Amino acid sequence: MFVMKISAIQMNTGSEKANNLVQARDLVACAVAQDTPDMVVLPEVFAFMGASVAEKRAAAEELPMAGQNGGEAYECLRDLAREHGIFVHGGSFVERDGDAFFNTTLAFDRDGAELARYRKIHLFDVTTPDGRSYRESDTFGAGQAVVTYRADTATIGCSICYDLRFAELYRALAEAGADVIMVPAAFTLQTGKDHWEVLLRARAIETQTYIVAAAQTGSYFEGNDERVSWGHSMIVNPWGHMIAQAGEGVGHTSAALDLDYLSTVRARIPVAQHRVL
């Protein structure tokens, strides 16, 4: 039996980048000390959240070429992997590429070597039921590539937050061989309370993969507008059962993922063999 233990880190990120990186380091160290995971997953925009478009872009980092050092968030992730000897799925942070900006995930192996880069494909341009407008495309461009990588014997699929609503991406990740699909997120309170758990469990059932969702929680400010993230980071197994869940506070939740169970579920209901469209 092959088991991978994963911890989903739940943060309350704000607009002080240095403080956010300290929070990330402390929460990962706590998860490692308490649960000894093989991998940790950070939430979306873990290094900087809120503020103006100009401030978000000012906090952006160019990604380094192979063998070079990166920016503060990049090196924070790499240091966490090296220090603790774990895989780190770095949620996301703001990437600058020339004049373009992206909401980008980085993943690192136990030695701090970069494994993957994923740019969020689906951008959250929505007005929520309380009338608040979210315009992610004002800050970011959209990615185009479906991304997976290997962590030990597991294939990990990449997605970010609003991607969760687009089942076709998750089907593509499953067809690419994903065993575990990551969902670092900053779901709003308004949508999270109704849709978060339902969508995560649906994606797990449809793809017959583990879903690991590390979330932002609590309040932050966009200018003078106070906004609230839903939290409730969770891990869902390929049968659709929630096997770990955080509450509304800062912290983490962990679970041991039995990767052999994937074949059991896929044999029980062989949807991949039955698919005709």
Span 116-175, pLDDT tens digits: 999 999 999 999 888 889 999 999 999 999 999 999 999 999 999 999 999 999 999 999
Which pLDDT does position 142 carry in this prediction?
Answer: 98
Provide the residue ranges of all domains of the chain, joining segments of one domain with +: 3-274
Which pLDDT does position 45 carry in this prediction?
Answer: 98
For the chain, give the percent of residues with pLDDT over 70.
Answer: 100
For the chain, give the percent of residues with pLDDT over 90.
Answer: 95
Phi and psi angles of residue 124, each rounded to the nearest 5 degrees, phi first: -85, 90
Residue identified by tokens 């597991």 is 154
pLDDT exceeds cutoff 80 at 41: yes
Note whether 161 and 187 are within 8 A (CB). yes
Which pLDDT does position 153 carry in this prediction?
Answer: 95
Per-residue pLDDT of 228-242, as tens digits, reads 999 999 999 999 999
HSE-up of residue 12 (Cα within 13 Å, Cβ side): 13
pLDDT exceeds cutoff 80 at 1: no
Distance separating alpha carbons of residues 276 and 43, to the nearest angstrom? 35
Straight-line distance from the first to the last Cα atom of the chain, in angstroms, rounded to the nearest whole number: 33
- Dihedral sign, Cα of residue 142, residue 61, residue 8, residue 152: positive
pLDDT exceeds cutoff 90 at 67: no
pLDDT exceeds cutoff 80 at 26: yes
16 is catalytic: no
User: For 3-274, which CATH class?
Assistant: alpha beta
Mean pLDDT, range 96-103, rounded to an integer: 98
Residue identified by tokens 């790499």 is 78
pLDDT exceeds cutoff 90 at 180: yes
Which pLDDT does position 130 carry in this prediction?
Answer: 83
- Going by pLDDT thresholds of 50, 70 and 90, the confidence category of residue 252 is very high
161 is catalytic: yes
Short-list 189, 209, 124, CA closest to 160: 124
Residue of 44, 61, 95, 114 marked active site: 44
Residue of 95, 114, 158, 161 marked active site: 161
Q: How much is the mean pLDDT over the chain?
A: 97
Which pLDDT does position 243 carry in this prediction?
Answer: 98
Which pLDDT does position 129 carry in this prediction?
Answer: 83
Short-list 79, 91, 88, 107, CA closest to 45: 91
pTM recorded for the entire structure? 0.97
Note whether 199 and 165 are within 8 A (CB). yes
Residue of 56, 76, 120, 158 marked active site: 120
120 is catalytic: yes
pLDDT higher at 67 or 2: 2
